[in-house]
Amino acid sequence: MINNKEKNFISAVIYVYNNEKDIKSTLENINKVLKQHFNKYEIICINDASTDKSANEIEEFAKSLDNEALSLINMSHYQGIELAMNAGVDLAIGDFVYEFDNIMEDYNSSVIMDVYYKCLEGFDIVSATSKKNKTKTSSVFYNIFNTYSNLEYKLHTETFRILSRRAINRVHSMSRNIPYRKAVYANSGLKMYNIVYSSNKKQKRKFNKQLQETRKDMAINSLVLFTNIGYKFAITMSLLMIVMTIIVAIYTITIFVKGTPVQGWTTLMLFLALSFLGLFIIMAIVIKYLEIIINLIFKKSDYTIESVNKLN
């Protein structure tokens, strides 16, 4: 039993979406660690309009608590991890805030405290990453993202993270509408650290169709917003069009100087087809940029909450 508990107030924000089978055990483990090490803490569960009995499981768990604070945020409709987690972090009052984007538990409970102690060393954002439990699609995305972004810190798959109050305030002052929190954290100018742990069990993240669609859209938007991959592709296509134009010009001059009959109809048509193809690709990238800008500037619809229940 630890007598000298930490004095800092801790908030643990947990994203929940159709996790009725696992959420109770996750809450038990997190609560056990926080109760053992901290004098004051709160747990905030964000129920992202689950269609199963996740909310009921959370309410049942609340009945087993003594004086611990547990809040349940019920989103009015499915809004995805980013907006839902923003709702939880906004409600959190802790000096440090844990973000559990998913309830996958393949780590020893000691890792929860490891990220906290590392945060006390002067790092405002500390994450925990498994050595093995990474999907191929995530690895491909982060490789592309890190290659074409100019962020100081490289992004990677994270199991959970902890933020200092200064980090939360900094992110709020930067933007409330950026669709990818991790990229904003890496661009905040604050010190970050990543703890890599060995998984104590093989556990795959579970993504249903709706969650997969949300993640795919977020990945595309993040690549457009935070990397120069679109710009480089557009420049490459533009340079290719310039080179083809020069080649066609040289071909035309050569035909004119030699005085031979013009028989380049096929070449001309091919050139026009490739030119329009490149133009349309560039236009698609520009349109994607405009779509994101419009969503960020003119469609600032924040998260909407159905209810907030102080369960204990």
Instruction: Express each pLDDT in 8-32 by its tens digit.
Output: 999 999 999 999 999 999 999 999 9
How far is the C-alpha of 125 from the C-alpha of 109, rounded, in Å? 19
User: One-letter amino acid identity for 88?
Assistant: G
**Radius of gyration of the chain, Cα coordinates, nearest whole angstrom:** 25
Neighbour count for residue 16 (Cβ, 10 Å)? 29
Strand-pairing partners, residue 97, are 11, 163
Domain presence at residue 54: yes
Any idea what the CATH number is for the domain that residue 163 is in? Answer: 3.90.550.10
Domain presence at residue 255: yes
Domain presence at residue 85: yes
User: One-letter amino acid identity for 195?
Assistant: I
Do 278 and 170 sit in the same domain of this protein? Answer: no
Do 158 and 265 sit in the same domain of this protein? Answer: no
**22 three-state secondary structure:** coil
Token pair in block for residue 223: 């690549």
Strand-pairing partners, residue 122, are none
Do 266 and 149 sit in the same domain of this protein? Answer: no
Domain presence at residue 220: no
| Domain that residue 42 falls in | 10-205+302-310
Do 183 and 256 sit in the same domain of this protein? Answer: no
Are β-strands 160-164 and 96-100 bridged in parallel, bridged antiparallel, or unpaired? antiparallel
Do 289 and 306 sit in the same domain of this protein? Answer: no
Do 255 and 199 sit in the same domain of this protein? Answer: no
Quick one: pLDDT at residue 3? Answer: 64
Do 56 and 193 sit in the same domain of this protein? Answer: yes
Regions of the chain with pLDDT less than 70: 1-3, 133, 175-179, 201-211, 249, 252-253, 255-256, 259-266, 269-270, 273, 287, 290-291, 294-307, 312
Helix, strand, coil shares, percent, the chain, to 5: 50, 15, 35
Backbone angles phi, psi at 47, to 5 degrees: -90, 105
Domain presence at residue 4: no
153 Cβ contact list (under 8 Å, min separation 6): 186, 192
How far is the C-alpha of 163 from the C-alpha of 159, rounded, in Å? 14
pLDDT, tens only, 42-98: 999 999 999 999 999 999 999 998 888 999 999 999 988 888 999 999 999 999 999
Q: Which helix (H) or strand (E) holds 196?
A: strand 192-197
How far is the C-alpha of 133 from the C-alpha of 146, rounded, in Å? 19
Do 283 and 165 sit in the same domain of this protein? Answer: no
Quick one: pLDDT at residue 215? Answer: 74
Domain presence at residue 218: no
Do 192 and 290 sit in the same domain of this protein? Answer: no
Half-sphere exposure of 239 (CA within 13 A, CB side): 6
Token pair in block for residue 191: 């010190």
Quick one: pLDDT at residue 208? Answer: 62
Is residue 71 within 8 Å of 44, Cβ to Cβ?
yes
pTM, to two decimals: 0.77
Do 169 and 239 sit in the same domain of this protein? Answer: no
Closest CA to 281 of 217, 226, 230: 230
Is residue 195 within 8 Å of 125, Cβ to Cβ?
no
Strand-pairing partners, residue 164, are 96
Closest CA to 123 of 195, 176, 43: 195
Do 117 and 43 sit in the same domain of this protein? Answer: yes
Alpha helix (H) ranges present in 175-264? 181-186, 209-226, 229-258
Quick one: pLDDT at residue 124? Answer: 94
| Number of domains into which the chain is organized | 2
Q: Name the DSSP class of 102.
A: S
Domain presence at residue 29: yes
Task: Report in angstroms the alpha-carbon separations of 71 from 112, 117, 208.
Answer: 20, 25, 25
Do 158 and 177 sit in the same domain of this protein? Answer: yes
